[in-house]
Structure 1
């Protein structure tokens, strides 16, 4: 199978089971969200998939290959990236300079010339394409430290895309972003390549219902249900557990 295939994934810390027998698929082009109450095991699941934590049992395959023994960096090279965990913005550099870094690293050219505005044509074309994709042109030559928080999250997302992932985990992309800037995150997710497999782990239900085609509900380390936003919104058990009784129609 192309994409991510998780079967029977479990994680135990001593006598505490935080992930239990999870089956999960994320195919090219998917837009899935993972939701659940605090302590449901969402972060543990993403850490198992990205290689931060080893599973107690179960398998993780990517494009048909077992990646269970690969570390985090090896999984990034395979094409699995997680935002806001592998990217660190250099606050004193401009947006353009920040975007040049992962491209040069991916090309095996290191950071020796990252400050030069006359990097090679291929690199600069890629930087320009990311700036255009995320509508960062007005900010391109500003220092990251001078940007609003929502704008910084956009730059982090663009940096992750520079790694050319095929599966992308967005770990709470709207966390800390003022509601007046949430639309920037929504627009950025909508601008992601259509063949990219995307998993969004998020507490902001308005954002989830705007960008996800499928929603997976995790409760106490187990998948409770999965469905379209309409199906999840209509599910009385989910509303009671997590959506606070509110409908998202």
Structure 2
């Protein structure tokens, strides 16, 4: 039940400290959100966890093993994956072809991108399962550039799940998605495997409060508080600093 553990995490750029003494836990099956005003250090924290940035001090452990010296690719192999605020898809390839890429990469067969079902039935079956999970079956053979933005975010989620992660960081999954398509993102998050540990970094408070069972508030690189959605929404410091009185009346 260990999952991801962060202890005393600190990151400084010269004289500027952007993460200060952060303690954070994300056990298997967690549905946790990280919120805070712009510049609070949310993306920095995600980049420290995924290995894109190296901490100045502190420890990052996964199932009790220190992973602080591992790079991004090694952490992905260990089971820590992150989506991006801007979709990073191959726009001229179809949905099916995009999903095939991370599966073959995971299997060490990245050179066989366009192999069809006859050669790789297990790969094609996995693609079909992901298409079904994210309600993309009708779009499977459509090029990415013809998809609505919300649909592209669903493909990105499918690609992330194709890596078979045990921890997934959703970095603003609803960013740029029109309100008419936001329900697609919510439904996709709700369909994620129960045992998967999920950290959501998001400004859309409606999405956060519907999905997260625990919320961490980050301000100026420090954790202000952690609690249930009810505790967070009722805290006067959070209302003043981030949520705004108007949001909760």
RMSD across aligned positions (CA): 1.6
- Distance in 1, matches of 2:119 and 2:146, equals 24
- Distance in 2, matches of 1:95 and 1:185, equals 17
Instruction: Tell me if the contact between 1:87 and 1:160 (Cα under 8 Å) persists in the aligned partners.
Output: no
- Distance in 2, matches of 1:248 and 1:214, equals 18
Instruction: Tell me if the contact between 1:113 and 1:119 (Cα under 8 Å) persists in the aligned partners.
Output: no
How far off its partner does 1:2 sit? 2.1
> How do residues 210-221 of structure 1 correspond to structure 2 at under 5 angstroms?
210-221=210-221
Q: Deviations 1:18-51 (Å, cap 9, x if unpaired)?
A: 1000000000000000000001000110000000
The runs of 5 or more residues in structure 1 that have no matched partner are none
Instruction: Tell me if the contact between 2:101 and 2:113 (Cα under 8 Å) persists in the aligned partners.
Output: no
Which residue of 2 is the match for residue 69 of structure 1? Answer: 69
How far off its partner does 1:86 sit? 11
Instruction: Tell me if the contact between 2:8 and 2:23 (Cα under 8 Å) persists in the aligned partners.
Output: yes
Structure 2 SS opposite 1:111: coil
Instruction: Tell me if the contact between 1:104 and 1:114 (Cα under 8 Å) persists in the aligned partners.
Output: no
- Distance in 1, matches of 2:77 and 2:162, equals 12
- Distance in 2, matches of 1:76 and 1:85, equals 18
How far off its partner does 1:119 sit? 4.1
> How do residues 42-191 of structure 1 correspond to structure 2 at under 5 angstroms?
42-84=42-84, 88-114=88-114, 116=116, 118-191=118-191
How far off its partner does 1:228 sit? 0.7
- Equivalent pairs counted in the alignment come to 249
- Distance in 2, matches of 1:119 and 1:179, equals 41
TM-score, structure 2 normalization = 0.96
Moved more, 31-40 or 112-121: 112-121
TM-score, structure 1 normalization = 0.96
